[in-house]
Chain A
Amino acid sequence: MTEYAVELHEVSTYYHGEKRPAITSVNLKIPIGSLALITGPNGAGKTTLLETILGLLRAREGWIKVLGYDIPGNLHKVRRLCSYLPQDFMKPPMEPFTAREIVAMGLASKNFMGRLSASDWKLVDQALDLFGMLEYADKPFGKLSGGQQQKVLFARALVREPKLLLLDEPFSAIDQESRAYIIGEIFPKLLEKRCTILLVSHHPEPSLLEPDLVIEMREGRVRRMVMQDVYAPR
């Protein structure tokens, strides 16, 4: 069994029609059950790296393995084991789905034919409750504040019980108190279950976060990779 959740070897990704790669010759090995912080300035290639790992962008060079599976060969299988919280999550006020429906979609994409059982709906409510959003469960998503929308999408990501959690600027709209709760209470529980977390942030070190691995990107390349002095798998 593999000891790495994500392995990239000499991976380069190009956007359609571009001659210059968005990320160039990236080599990465992220151990299972670790918290990796991907940092760097705007345009460094952080989001491209996440989307390449998920196969949303196709790598033109190199090879990728996620949770031991080759990408893009096992794309749908791998994606069902992962959860993704995108950077551009905000929806307009007229969005015709409630918070509960949106969290349920996270499970629907995993389950057979997208069907949800009564126990699945309980999980949905538990996930909303985890982020203090249960009282807003029946409210239209678009009528929630930016921070509340981000919490609902966090709940959607977690209800899937992912093996790999990819978070793109996950605290951009969330207040300090909630951020501390997510980092201090939720992340450790996920890591205990050997879930690997890849967190993208343009801040070098988001407060309270203690990553096992810091990957610094610049101009589409990994410039620096720092692992904790003594890395102990949890």
Chain B
Amino acid sequence: MSMLLVNSLISGVLAGGLCGSIGVICNRLRLTTIAFSMAHAALAGSALALALNVDMISLAMGFAFLTATILGPLADHLRISLDLVSMILFSLYNALTFIFIIMAPGPTFMTESIGQLLWGSILAIRFSYIAYLTTAAVMCLAFIIIFWGRISSLLFDPRLAEAEGVNVKLYKYAILILAGAIITLALRITGGFLVFSLLYLPAAASLQLQSTMQKMIFSSWILGSASASMGLGISFLLDLPAGSCITIAAVILFISAIIYSKLKVFSLYRGGLHAR
């Protein structure tokens, strides 16, 4: 088995798992649109890098991280929802992306780097990338395990958690920054347009399968890992865009989860009828 495929599978397990677990938390906190602004922040960053002829990945990460950092305080300061702030930034980043691309010299739309950012590539997977992912996975798990008592309180009812002395803003900002870092890392393999699939499809599938929050986060990690690994494997074997393959794998797992959930309900219903 080639080293590239092994690296792809390891990256898939880590990136998919991270996206899946943080996706459940973001979905619960109604932060589903943050992915849009983060992904497009990275796109705008890379387009600017192209125009300035500097390192594309660093600037993309810088933009996404900055967005993750300012989203929460901006929403609090303006007293509007995070979703709305996300969509405002999303529009701004789109506008900037096009301006920066036009400003860039040469046939920019055809460059491989832009291709990687738009629809992902297994060629972006290097040892340093796996090291980043491993660090993010350790930090994410440590954060969730150590502070689970307070995170769960926030996920159940932020207002009640605040009334009981939990620093809701601090935890929300920490989750946003963590999500920003994870999205930026996942962008390398899924691309800017398809990172949402890895964030929310495993989360949606785990909602079909589990009834408690801890189990949902765990199963979303597994489903995210499976989607990303399967997708990257298919991308490697068939030479197709990584982001598209991951999305299709995630959709297949989501549909399977729905069918499994319906069959389970049906068998319980039939069991109940037989018992009568």
**A24-83 residues at the B interface, CB under 8 angstroms:** 54, 56, 76-80, 82-83
| Chain A contact residue count (CB 8 A cutoff) | 33
* In contact, A115 and B213 (Cβ under 8 angstroms): no
Once bound together, how far apart are the Cα atoms of A98 and B153, in whole Å? 12
Interface assignment of A219: CB less than 8 Å from any CB of chain B: no
- For B165, give its contact among A80, A98, A115 (CB under 8 Å): A80
* In contact, B165 and A110 (Cβ under 8 angstroms): yes
**B154-203 residues at the A interface, CB under 8 angstroms:** 155-157, 159-167
Q: What's the least CB distance linking A164 to chain B, in Å?
A: 11
Once bound together, how far apart are the Cα atoms of A107 and B165, in whole Å? 11
* In contact, A97 and B164 (Cβ under 8 angstroms): no
Interface 9-mer from B102-110, B122-130, B143-151:
B143-151
Q: What's the least CB distance linking A177 to chain B, in Å?
A: 26
Main secondary structure of the interface of A (DSSP, over half): mixed
| Chain B contact residue count (CB 8 A cutoff) | 27
> Which chain B residue has the least Cβ–Cβ distance from A116?
B149
* In contact, A86 and B150 (Cβ under 8 angstroms): no
| Interface flags, A171-213, vs B, CB<8A=1, else 0 | 0000000000000000000000000000000000000000000
Interface assignment of B152: CB less than 8 Å from any CB of chain A: yes
Once bound together, how far apart are the Cα atoms of A207 and B160, in whole Å? 27
* In contact, B149 and A56 (Cβ under 8 angstroms): no
* In contact, A86 and B164 (Cβ under 8 angstroms): no
> Which chain B residue has the least Cβ–Cβ distance from A138?
B212
Give the residues in chain A near B163, CB-CB below 8 Å: 54, 56, 79, 82, 84, 86
* In contact, A109 and B153 (Cβ under 8 angstroms): yes
Chain B CB within 10 A, most for which of A77, A104, A114: A114
Q: What's the least CB distance linking B8 to chain A, in Å?
A: 33
Interface assignment of A96: CB less than 8 Å from any CB of chain B: yes
Interface assignment of B2: CB less than 8 Å from any CB of chain A: no
* In contact, A96 and B211 (Cβ under 8 angstroms): yes
Give the residues in chain A near B164, CB-CB below 8 Å: 79-80, 82-84, 105-106, 109-110, 160
26 A–B contacts from the bound complex (CB under 8 Å): A76-B167, A79-B162, A84-B164, A94-B207, A95-B156, A96-B210, A96-B216, A97-B152, A97-B156, A97-B212, A98-B212, A101-B212, A104-B149, A105-B153, A105-B164, A106-B164, A107-B149, A108-B150, A109-B153, A109-B161, A109-B164, A110-B165, A113-B150, A114-B147, A115-B149, A140-B211
